[in-house]
Amino acid sequence: MNFAFTEEQEELRKTVRAFLEAKSSEEAVREQMETDNGVDDAVWAQMGEQMGLQGLHIPEEFGGSGYGYVELGIVLEEMGRSLLCAPFFSTVVLAANALLLSGDDAAKQAHLPGIAAGTTKATVAFTEPNGKWDESGIEATADADGKITGTKSFVLDGNTADLIIVAAKTAAGTSLFAVDGNAAGLTKTALSTMDQTRKQSKLEFDGVQGT
């Protein structure tokens, strides 16, 4: 079996590396580390509009390029190499994959095109203050109308996300809800972290409407 990267994949690596060397220098990284949001919106827009990075592994039917996880892995390696400050992991790896694996075609159609275009920043709110990292730790609840109550901790890029995928308990079990980042009843608090290249937040939901 041949595990080597293809010529096209190596070209992708070269292109992404050149872009990040220009846009994510050490000076740029340190500058974004000192900001509240931890992202240069102009660079984020270029990543989506010119490079197509946010939509790389999203299927074409949802506005993406339809490549695979190998290509996504190459991009992530290069972003790690340059310490890129941007909500790429939270948006593309966490939120987009949660949507892709949800089995909910309406949710995919509603949210994936924005992620692919780079116009939607997203994240997943899963972990809670109890410190458990599996489903047994989910104590947030959602009523029959989709109103969510509870607290989520360590939410990557939670302060800047336009879309938050929230795990909450319902009468049917654990469900995922799409929540607007500016929804009424949602309180966001930035957390102090050791790694300032990746912002984290505590999100408190007080009857917040989800879908």
**pLDDT digits over 128-166, tens only?**
999 898 999 999 999 999 999 999 999 999 999 999 999
Could you list the residue range(s) of the whole structural domain that residue 170 is in? 122-209
Token pair 């991009």 is found at 75
Instruction: Say yes or no: 113 and 130 in one domain.
Output: no
Q: Degrees (nearest 5) of the Cα angle 100, 210, 61?
A: 25
Among residues 72, 99, 117, which one ends one of the domains? 117
What is the 8-class DSSP label of residue 192?
Answer: P
Give 210's strand partners.
none
How much of the chain exceeds pLDDT 90, in percent? 95
Residue 187 has pLDDT above 70, yes or no: yes
Residue 57 lies in a domain: yes
Q: Is there a contact between 153 and 127 (Cβ–Cβ < 8 Å)?
A: yes
Helix (H) or strand (E) holding 204: strand 200-209
Token pair 């972290």 is found at 193
The per-residue pLDDT for 3 is 75
Instruction: Say yes or no: 93 and 106 in one domain.
Output: yes
Distant-in-sequence, close-in-space partners of 27: CB < 8 Å, separation ≥ 6: none
Instruction: Say yes or no: 109 and 43 in one domain.
Output: yes
Give 165's strand partners.
124, 178
3-state secondary structure of 94: helix
Among residues 117, 141, 172, which one ends one of the domains? 117
Instruction: Say yes or no: 131 and 189 in one domain.
Output: yes
Instruction: Say yes or no: 112 and 54 in one domain.
Output: yes
The per-residue pLDDT for 1 is 67
Residue 176 has pLDDT above 70, yes or no: yes
Residue 64 lies in a domain: yes
DSSP string, 12-79: HHHHHHHHHHHHS-HHHHHHHHTSSS---HHHHHHIIIII--TTTTS-GGGTS----HHHHHHHHHHH
Give 154's strand partners.
none
Instruction: Say yes or no: 113 and 34 in one domain.
Output: yes
